[in-house]
Structure 1
Amino acid sequence: MESLSTNGIALPRAWLDTTTRRRRDKSAVELRDGVAVVPLRQVLTVLGVGTDQLVALVELAVGRPVIDSAALRRENLAQRRDLWAEVEAKPPTLPGLAARMRAAGTDDEASVRRFADALAKTVSALPCDPPISLAKLSHDHAGDPHYFDLDRLAGARLVSAVAEWTGKPEPTRPDSIRALLTEVGILADRLSST
């Protein structure tokens, strides 16, 4: 506690300092650089306040909600674990792509789940026979004809998935990318990459 007056420090000392402590000249309430350090558990015990009421008391004292940041971090960690377990389970034949996506991280779980769903549907349909246009494939599996456009992240990841699925190195040139997609029955025209 900061900025406590002498009377303010005397009150917790009266609650906590036993006769033995007073004789030894050792108070439970210490002053360190102008800040009073009070053992919270002892104060709660003396006042008969349970730890379940502590949050409400602190919120009343400071006038704003108390945020349990540790619990928030644990919850976020659990959500991320669930997300990546779901992503790794969706296209089970693509562990390399799932690992790269996990390493890249995300701020938007919904878009990652949407991509994992669309990719799982797409990979299960490979090779496409008869061949299908990239726009039709995107519309059928993601609900958006431009979802897998090659200039978007989802399109780049589709190319990575096809390369991993076929066991070929991932191409970088546009003509090589279209050739790889054509091998599995996906027809990417030049407009899909602009």
Structure 2
Amino acid sequence: MKIYTKTGDDGTTSLYGGKRVSKNNIRVQTYGEVDELNSYIGLIRSHNSYKEIDDQLQRIQNSLFNLGAELASPSDQMFFSKGKMKFSCLISDQKIVLFEKWMDEMSEKLPPQKNFIIPTGNVITSTSHIARTICRRAERSIVSLCEIEDIRPILQKYLNRLSDYLFVLARYFGYLANEPEELWSPNE
């Protein structure tokens, strides 16, 4: 199978189900940001040496593909073609609860946060912060998309909680590396 189709040369792309839309369509923009986030999580994984964290990040990457697939599907196409699996099975409240469990486990080992933290540190810590900001951008895009299309609210909630997870993960990587957090100094 060739990777190039030439069908997008005119500035359009296909949504799931075949509908053609502009590549600057808010739906395309949103799932593109989810794809960018997924790539940064892959970068975190490439610097990570902790199996438990890698397992979490791998699960997140798979979920982000599911989320992207749902975003690439107009409301009337909310099924996969093989097996007719509903998207509502893929991104659910169970994933939100899992994020909260993982954050609670990491937070137990971290010092209490009393100030804003400058997003810096080693490569994996800084990359986690970048992923968090991309996640927030994708979340804002979903908010915009929800204003004009029917999108399940759980998708926005998922990205909101994922950005929280990525923040705690960044702090946790700093903790594991025994790096002190750089606190924001408003007088600088």
- Please, what TM-score do these two structures have when normalized by structure 1? 0.24
Which structure's relative contact order is higher, taking Cα pairs within 8 Å and 6+ residues apart? 2
Which structure has the larger Rg?
A: 1
